[in-house]
Amino acid sequence: MSFHPLDKNFATLGDYIIRASRTGECERISQQLSQMDPWRTLEYSPIKLKNYLLSTDPCLRCRVIIANIVNESNIEQIVGVFCVRFPWLFGACLELFAIFPDYQGMGFGAKTLAWLEKCVAADTRNLWILVSAFNESAKIFYDHQGYTVIAKIDNLIQVGFDEILLRKNLTLAKSSSGN
């Protein structure tokens, strides 16, 4: 059995929780993702996204972000989702990260990313992220979080669309913050 920094299935982060994704909710999540960029522009179908979220790859962990708010049907409010591959290039790779549109700009993304960085920093020195070159808001977000552009990868996911490889050296980030 392999180790993964996200093997712990549950975390409380103040006003929300992070937990493993459940099979029954992956269809709803994949539908939402397929209507959002970059997945919409890159023509990811709900079925392809659902299969990814349900992957049995031993190096991949998919987690949902749940707000401490409940809708009128008393159903948990999933505000986002992320998937992390470990190990990957002397680090971990945040392969998918989405905060759903109704919850963007509320701090869920920054707080979740900071938590994730702490989770993986004990076991590795890098957190890698691929961002579609056309996804300006994501590039700005990651820049504000201290990520550095490492390379542009032409036509990686789909011909005509480039990806930007970003990295945060968690060892340097930790030492510069005084920890």
Question: Which SS3 state, helix, strand or coil, does residue 134 take?
Answer: coil
Is 144 in contact with 121 (CB distance < 8 Å)?
Answer: no
**pLDDT (mean) for 27-37:** 95
Residue with tokens 């409940």, as numbered in its chain:
70
pLDDT digits (tens, 9 = 90+) for 116-168: 999 898 888 899 999 999 999 999 999 999 999 999 998 887 888 899 999 99
User: pTM of the entire structure?
Assistant: 0.88
**The predicted structure's pLDDT at residue 1:** 39
Span 76-98, average pLDDT: 91
pLDDT at 77 over 90: no
Q: What is the 3-state secondary structure (H, E, C) of the chain?
A: CCCCCCCCCEEEECCEEEEECCHHHHHHHHHHHHCCCCCCCCCCCHHHHHHHHCCCCCCEEEEEEEEEEECCCCCEEEEEEEEEECCCCCEEEEEEEEECHHHCCCCHHHHHHHHHHHHHHCCCCEEEEEEECCCHHHHHHHHHCCCEEEEEEEEEEECCEEEEEEEEEHHHHHHHCCC
Q: What's the mean pLDDT in 65-80?
A: 76
Whether residue 97 contacts residue 131, with contact meaning beta carbons closer than 8 Å, is answered with no
Cβ–Cβ under 8 Å, residues 100 and 63:
no
Contact 159, 41 (CB under 8 A): no
Q: Write down the mean pLDDT value for the chain.
A: 87
